[in-house]
Amino acid sequence: MPGTTLIHVPIDEAVEARANATLAAMGLSVADAVRVFLTRVAADQRLPFALDVPNAETRAAMMEAEDLVRARSARFATPDALFDALEKTGGE
């Protein structure tokens, strides 16, 4: 049996809690998920998911969303107003 090593990774507590809950629902621990991740990286010689740099339009939308969160405001007063607008624009 090969030797093992222990990895310590600093992570935001809220992220860890959400990840723990999500993984537990899948029947996995964080250690299990890290093992799966690192095994795929080693086997495939790449990340097991795409990491893309967002284009200008996506970056602008992300900044707008962050501004809305910081301001605690939204473009629509109610969910119905949002759905009405989506229906009028065809979801664009």
Are 29 and 66 part of one and the same domain?
A: no
Q: Indicate the DSSP class of residue 46.
A: S
The pLDDT assigned to 91 comes to: 61
Are 83 and 64 part of one and the same domain?
A: yes
Of the candidates 4, 70, 71, the residue with the CA atom closest to the CA atom of residue 34? 4
> What domain count does the chain have?
2
Are 1 and 42 part of one and the same domain?
A: yes
Domain interval for residue 67: 56-89
Are 43 and 79 part of one and the same domain?
A: no
Are 74 and 29 part of one and the same domain?
A: no
Quick: pLDDT tens for 36-81.
999 999 999 999 998 888 899 999 999 988 888 888 777 788 889 8
Quick: pLDDT tens for 77-92.
888 988 988 888 876 6
Are 6 and 28 part of one and the same domain?
A: yes
What is the C-alpha end-to-end distance of the chain, expressed in Å? 55
More confident residue, 90 or 13: 13
